[in-house]
């Protein structure tokens, strides 16, 4: 089977950031035919980052409409058929998808943008009232309502979602304890100096952080809901609200049922095509080949979802290329912003720049090569780091360690040296 350069119709399963962006980018690029965007959620396509940040701080600060990526009129104007429903089955031979209500849609090209779902905590009591996960606007609305009355919150998992929620809960007056199985927060995604900064930040705000701790059970009853978290060492933490933030699992079932390979996500090549040339997979659900990194990657970020969507829209309108965008990411906790440029795919040295313990950047090197930069409250460093990494501008650990070194200055010097106009 050969993929159409410009298929007769495009069906997109999942109307999250990646799905919405695919539809929008197709229309921006002049794609003239039918676009069907199928959403399992009730809400119009919306952005998720505020759900663990500003949205939690109260109705008066953030309405549901402010989450929308576009108002309803946009989809009508752009002739994007927004369909409410859950796709249960793909028939790759007939090129159709079937929804739970029995309806079916033919596709010329199918884009799987089905995202990921929170990993569950497999302990007794995990289904008690007052125990939450945070992925959807509905989850966030439930948490926001609970925060209005909750007094003691326990957060299981010190990843981005857990820490962002912990900050919002603390700011709304809750006593907060974060329980983490590993020895520091954000252990899989940031270096020790950055992790230590976030430990200090949360402790300074009065949050208790417990590392190297597992959860044995959640206690409570049908009447009161959750009342306590029992740790693996037997300690009991009183709680009337528990957030489970132990990561997500990509949604791969539909793809697997259709016979598509799965490899830590729906397996796609560097053009984001599955083994079927008429089916792409993008965003959080896709394990893809990235031109800058060796192994298959699965990334969870807005930038990745948007970048994937645009690439697929380009391919479906006649311009095929391999995905090589530099990954970047951000997280807001209290008044602190962390920004990460690049990806730590194994580093052997670190250089910290900036003397302020609350505003610094960590440069990660493999050998003589800069691989990633974590910036805490240093937005100018982040922008310069992205440019350096995108353009492959050389920088050694020795150069970065010089007393007066700045990323911006280095970028400007290298541009002058290469005769490229600064701008
Ligand atoms: C609370 C929170 C905060 C975040 N903060 C940040 C941040 O600060 N910075 C950042 O870069 N990233 C952040 N992220 C991550 C970012 O939001 C995700 O990486 C991005 O939303 C992924 O988009 P996606 O479209 O791939 O998946 P999703 O947004 O998960 O969308 C997938 C959609 O597909 C639907 N779906 C699934 N199966 C089916 C089916 N069979 N039929 C129909 N529909 C289906 C789902 O219901 C869902 O609506 C955050 C995520 C969360 C949850």
Distance 367 CA to ligand 1 centre (A): 35
CATH 3.50.50.60-classified regions of the chain: 9-117+249-316, 120-246
Please give the model's pTM, rounded to 2 decimal places: 0.96
DSSP code of residue 218: E
Look at ligand 1, atom 52, and give the residue with the nearest C-alpha.
Answer: 48
Which pair of tokens denotes residue 272? 């984001």
**Closest ligand 1 atom to the C-alpha of 14?**
34
Distance 125 CA to ligand 1 centre (A): 27
Residue with tokens 């391919």, as numbered in its chain: 315
Strand 369-376 with 359-366, pairing: antiparallel
The answer to whether 372 and 341 are in contact (CB under 8 A) is yes
DSSP code of residue 51: G
For the domain made up of 120-246, give the CATH fold: FAD/NAD(P)-binding domain (3.50.50)
Cβ count near 83 (within 10 Å): 16
Pocket of ligand 1 (CB under 6 A): 13-19, 38-41, 48-49, 51-52, 86-87, 113-116, 134-135, 161, 251, 254, 283-284, 300-303, 305, 329-331
The answer to whether 163 and 198 are in contact (CB under 8 A) is yes
Architecture of domain 9-117+249-316: 3-Layer(bba) Sandwich (3.50)
Which pair of tokens denotes residue 337? 């912003």
Distance CA 367, CA 396 (A): 8
**Closest ligand 1 atom to the C-alpha of 45?**
49
Distance CA 95, CA 115 (A): 21
**Closest ligand 1 atom to the C-alpha of 16?**
31
In order along its 423 residues, the chain shows pLDDT tens digits of 445 578 999 999 999 999 999 999 999 999 999 999 999 999 999 999 999 999 998 766 788 899 999 999 999 999 999 999 999 999 999 999 999 999 999 999 999 999 999 999 999 999 999 999 999 999 999 999 999 999 999 999 999 999 999 999 999 999 999 999 999 999 999 999 999 999 999 999 999 999 999 999 999 999 999 999 999 999 999 999 999 999 999 999 999 999 999 999 999 999 999 999 999 999 999 999 998 887 899 999 999 999 999 999 999 999 999 999 999 999 999 999 999 999 999 999 999 999 899 999 999 999 999 999 999 999 999 999 999 999 999 999 999 999 999 999 999 998 776 644 433
pLDDT value of position 64: 86
DSSP code of residue 93: T
| Residues 167-198: b if buried by 16+ CB within 10 A, e if exposed | bbbbebebbbbbbbbeebbbeebbbeebbebb
Integer-rounded Cα radius of gyration of the chain: 23
Instruction: For 196-211, give the DSSP string.
Output: HHHHHHHHHTT-EEEE
Distance CA 22, CA 40 (A): 17
Look at ligand 1, atom 34, and give the residue with the nearest C-alpha.
Answer: 14
Look at ligand 1, atom 7, and give the residue with the nearest C-alpha.
Answer: 49
Distance 354 CA to ligand 1 centre (A): 34
Residue of 13, 245, 285, 300 to mutate, ligand 1, most atoms within 8 A of C-beta: 300
pLDDT value of position 59: 65
Reference 153, options 208, 216, 87; nearest CA is 208
Sort 223 into a burial class: Cβ within 10 Å, 0-12 / 13-18 / 19+. exposed
Architecture of domain 335-418: 2-Layer Sandwich (3.30)
H or E element, residue 23: helix 17-28
Residue of 15, 48, 90, 118 to mutate, ligand 1, most atoms within 8 A of C-beta: 48
């Amino acid at each position: 089977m050969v993929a159409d350069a410009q298929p007769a119709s495009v069906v997109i399963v999942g109307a999250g950031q990646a799905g919405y962006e695919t539809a929008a980018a197709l229309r921006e690029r002049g794609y003239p035919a039918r676009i069907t965007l199928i959403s399992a959620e009730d809400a119009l396509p919306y952005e998720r980052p505020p759900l663990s940040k500003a949205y939690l701080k109260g109705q008066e600060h953030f309405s549901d409409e402010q989450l929308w990526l576009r108002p309803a009129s946009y989809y009508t104007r752009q002739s994007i058929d927004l369909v409410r429903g859950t796709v249960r089955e793909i028939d790759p031979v007939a090129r159709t998808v079937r929804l739970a209500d029995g309806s079916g849609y033919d596709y010329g090209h199918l884009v799987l943008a089905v995202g990921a779902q929170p990993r569950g905590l497999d302990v007794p009591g995990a289904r008690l009232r007052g125990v939450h996960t945070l992925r959807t606007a509905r989850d966030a609305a439930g948490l926001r309502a609970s925060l209005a009355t909750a007094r003691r919150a326990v957060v299981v998992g010190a990843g981005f979602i857990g820490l962002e929620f912990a900050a919002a809960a603390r700011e709304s007056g809750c006593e907060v304890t974060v329980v983490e199985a590993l020895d520091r927060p954000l252990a899989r995604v940031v270096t020790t100096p950055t992790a230590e900064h976030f430990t200090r930040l949360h402790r300074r705000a009065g949050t208790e952080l417990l590392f190297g701790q597992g959860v044995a059970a959640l206690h409570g009853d049908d009447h009161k809901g959750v009342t306590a978290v029992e740790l693996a060492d037997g300690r009991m933490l009183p709680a009337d609200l528990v957030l489970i933030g132990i990561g997500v699992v990509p949604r791969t079932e539909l793809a697997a049922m259709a016979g598509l390979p799965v490899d830590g996500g729906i397996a796609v090549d560097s053009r984001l095509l599955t083994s079927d040339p008429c089916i792409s997979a993008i965003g959080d659900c896709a394990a893809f080949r990235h031109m800058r990194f060796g192994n298959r990657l699965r990334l969870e970020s807005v930038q990745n979802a948007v970048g994937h969507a645009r690439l697929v829209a380009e391919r479906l309108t006649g311009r095929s290329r391999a995905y090589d965008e530099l990954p970047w990411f951000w997280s807001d906790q209290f008044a602190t912003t962390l920004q990460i440029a690049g990806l730590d795919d194994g580093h052997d040295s670190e250089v910290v720049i900036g003397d302020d313990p609350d505003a610094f950047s960590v440069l990660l090197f493999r050998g003589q090569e800069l691989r990633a930069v974590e910036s805490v409250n240093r937005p100018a460093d982040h922008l310069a780091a992205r440019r350096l990494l995108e353009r492959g501008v050389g920088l050694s650990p020795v150069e970065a360690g010089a007393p007066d070194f700045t990323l911006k200055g280095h970028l400007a010097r290298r541009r002058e040296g290469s005769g490229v106009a600064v701008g």
